[in-house]
Amino acid sequence: MTYDRHTLERMRQRLLERRYVVVRSTIGNQREIAELKGQQRTAEMEEDAQTSSAEFVLTRLSENQRREVGQIDAAVARIDAGTYGECIDCGETIPIERLEAVPYALRDSECTRRREAMAEPGREYPTL
């Protein structure tokens, strides 16, 4: 255990709020794009109006947004597993200041820096 239950629940709330904002902003963008296209009501849009499952929304997220939602979900799973706030490289507790800034951080600043230094230029940074 890294942090007390109260802190973990607070971080869980922050993660879920962040997830909500990412997903909502995507739905908002879809509407704006539809409006810019001249408000044509296509069969696809009819379908949009009727289907609002989380899974369906996920298919509409951009690569970056999908990645962020994936990181958020992984962090929530780590809260449930009792490993949230533990650096996955060295096992040290990630400082709360860092988690406040990046609630789904997997590593402390030191290990993140080391990893970034090791990463080959141009290669995609592994997400999880």
CB of 110 to Zn ion, least distance (A): 6
CB of 42 to Zn ion, least distance (A): 49
Query: How many residues in the chain?
Result: 128
Token duo for residue 54? 């989380």
- Restricting to residues 81-110, which ones interact with Zn ion according to CB under 5 A? 87, 89-90, 108
From 15-23, 32-40, 95-103, 111-119, give the range in contact with Zn ion by CB under 5 A.
Answer: 111-119
φ/ψ of residue 86, rounded to 5:
-100, 130
Smaller CB distance to Zn ion: residue 12 or 115?
115
How far apart, in whole angstroms, are the C-alpha atoms of residue 102 and residue 68? 11
- Restricting to residues 25-54, which ones interact with Zn ion according to CB under 5 A? none
Crossing angle of helices 63-81 and 5-36, in 10° steps, is: 160
CB of 31 to Zn ion, least distance (A): 42
Smaller CB distance to Zn ion: residue 13 or 93?
93
φ/ψ of residue 93, rounded to 5:
-75, 130
